[in-house]
Structure formats: structure tokens, C-alpha cells
Structure 1
Amino acid sequence: MNTPDWLKPGVYGAVIGAALVGTLGFTWGGWVTEGTASDRATSMSQQDVIAAMVPVCLEMARTDPKRSAKIEAIREASPYQRRDALMEAGWATVPGAEAPDRDIAEACLGPLDIDAVPAPTSNRVDEG
């Protein structure tokens, strides 16, 4: 069988072109595999759930009858232990869940702004 002279360079060009398009597509074109797309979708959905639960956390903090004592306990905790203190306060527990959520507690600390909340007033009389 005789093959045309142009067939060999044409096949090489097609193979090299396909490899080049695939490489450029995955590196610069934004193409991803199914596994990467699934991981990204899962991460985004978790972030959306956490963002949706922050107002619930803030409302639980606002309406808690023991708010002052709990705010003071969170304020007294070191900065890296405040998340755990907020979890102990019960404000990071999603209604219907048995245990608090660490990610919700972390996200709730920012808007709660513990340091800006006025300290509980004492019965002390100022001298003046």
C-alpha cells in the first residue's frame, strides 16, 4: 500500500497539536478534571452553609440571657482559644445539631467583634 507523502507530517501535526491544546487548556485555559471540579463544588457549598449560619450564631448571641457572662469568658480567652470559648457558649451549635461547628464558630467571631462589645457594667460607684 502506498501512503501519500503528506500523511506522516499530518499525523504528527495532529498528535502534537492535540497535546499542545490539552496542555494549554489545563494550564492556562481553566480546564479541570471531574475530581477537581467536585472538590471545588464541595468546598464552595461548605463555605456557603457557613456564611448562611453566621446570622443564626449572631442572633443566638444577641438573645442569650447569659450573654454578658459568655462575652466576658470569650474576651478573657486568648485569641487562639476564642473559637473554643464561643463553641462552649453554645452559639456555634446549629439548631438541631448535637455538637457545635468549629467553622461556624470561627466565622462568627469576626462579626461578633468581641473586643468592641461593651464590658458588663459593675455596681461600682465612680469617684468624682
Structure 2
Amino acid sequence: MNIPEWIKPAAWGGVAGAVIIAIVSFSAGWVVTSGSAAQMAKDEGAKTALAALTPICVAQFKSQSQEIQTTQLAALQKENSYNRGDYVEKQG
């Protein structure tokens, strides 16, 4: 059986096109792996929890006396920027 000559370039074009589509779709975020999807869900959950708990934290802080607020803010500013989240957690 003779295969026409135009089949070989068309097949290579199809293969190249499939590879390019796969690269573009993964790079653009149109297709994600299960690991990426799990990480995105975890990050979104953390953002949602932060958004839900922030008003409660602010209300608790504002309910304290001015003296305590000043003391806690001064202590917070003394902390390194990467330790401030832990400090806020420890304060309740």
C-alpha cells in the first residue's frame, strides 16, 4: 500500500501543533495538574478564612482599652515582619 507524500508533513504538523497546544494551555493556566489544583484550593481557603476572621480580630482589638492597644501595637512593630502573624495569633 502506497502512502501519499503529503501525509508525512501533515502528520508532523499535527504532532507539532499538539505539542504547542499542550505547552500553551499549561503555561496559560487553562489546564492544571491535580497538584496545582489542590494548591490553588488551599490558597483560596486560606484567603477566605483570613477575610472572615479579620473583622472579628479588629473588633476584639478595638474593644480593649487605649493603653492596651498602644502597648500591643508597639510590641507588634518591634517584631520582624515575618513574625508578626505569629505574634497576632499568640495575642488571641
TM-score w.r.t. structure 1 length? 0.55
Aligned equivalents of 1:52 and 1:58: distance in 2?
11
Q: What is the match of residue 59 of structure 1?
A: 59
Aligned equivalents of 2:76 and 2:52: distance in 1?
27
Counterpart amino acid of residue 46 in structure 1: A
In the TM superposition, residue 76 of structure 1 has moved relative to its aligned partner by: 2.9
Q: Are the structure 2 counterparts of residues 19 and 57 from structure 1 closer, same or farther at C-alpha, using a change threshold of 3 Å?
A: same
Counterpart amino acid of residue 51 in structure 2: A
Q: What is the match of residue 33 of structure 2?
A: 33
How is 1:45-124 mapped onto 2 (pairs within 5 angstroms)? Answer: 45-64=45-64, 67-77=65-75, 79-81=77-79, 83=84, 84=87, 86-90=88-92
SS at match of 1:47: helix
Q: Are the structure 2 counterparts of residues 33 and 80 from structure 1 closer, same or farther at C-alpha, using a change threshold of 3 Å?
A: farther
Aligned equivalents of 2:76 and 2:61: distance in 1?
19
Greater share of helix: 2
SS at match of 2:41: helix
Count of paired positions: 86
User: Whose RCO is larger (CA < 8 A, sep 6+)?
Assistant: 1
| Runs of 4+ off more than 6 Å | none
**Structure 2: gaps (5+ residues):** none
Aligned equivalents of 1:19 and 1:5: distance in 2?
23
Q: CA RMSD in A?
A: 2.3
In the TM superposition, residue 63 of structure 1 has moved relative to its aligned partner by: 2.8
**Structure 1: gaps (5+ residues):** 91-128
Q: Which region of structure 1 is more displaced relative to structure 2, 8-17 or 74-83?
A: 74-83
SS at match of 1:36: helix
In the TM superposition, residue 54 of structure 1 has moved relative to its aligned partner by: 0.6
